[in-house]
Homo-oligomer: A and B are copies of this chain.
């Protein structure tokens, strides 16, 4: 049985529970549902907004590729992966990953895997718009994120 995969790249915000319901609605065979929401932090008040640039087309393709990879590694019933682009205010959601499985270990592992890949392989770039008349900075990729994705490459 193959997992249902829902991937979207969008400017609009999303509602995590509505998206998760798409996987569980009417189902009686799903035992574990993991939802990860990545939110925009204000960095102690320093950040006014985050501008997210993406590679249209490739972003969807890359997320879909990674979702299929997750579905081939673990017995999943469904995956939702949504990533926003455009200007995002502190407190707003940026990314959503939902995994549904029979058991919790698989759902947790797949959600972690998906986030590790989205951080480093999906073509999105974040620019920090600082408060006041501060400058704009492109966010640098983090060594810890690169290390996190490396551990999945067997």
Residues of A bordering B, CB below 8 Å: 15-17, 20, 24, 26-42, 44, 90-91, 102, 104-105, 107-108, 111-112, 115, 144, 148
Q: When chains A and B are docked, how far (Å) is the Cα of A29 from the Cα of B91? A: 7
Judged by DSSP, the binding face of A is mixed
Which residues of chain B are within 8 angstroms of A42 by Cβ–Cβ distance?
Answer: 28-29
Q: Which residue of B lies closest to A108 (CB)?
A: B112
Quick one: given A28-B91, A31-B41, are A115 and B111 in contact (CB under 8 Å)?
A: no
A109 to chain B, nearest CB (A): 9
Q: Which of B31, B36, B37, B41 is in CB contact (< 8 Å) with A39?
A: B31
Contact A31 B38 (CB under 8 A): yes
Q: Compute how far the CA of A26 lies from the CA of B90 in the bound complex, rounded to whole angstroms.
A: 10
The residue on B at minimum CB distance from A32 is: B38
Q: Which residues of B contact A29 (CB under 8 A)?
A: 41-42, 44
Task: Please indicate which of the listed interface residues A15, A30, A39 has the most CB atoms of chain B within 10 Å of its own CB.
Answer: A39
Does the CB pair A37–B33 fall under 8 Å? Answer: yes
A34 in contact with B36 (CB, 8 Å):
yes
A36 lies within 8 A of B36 (CB): no
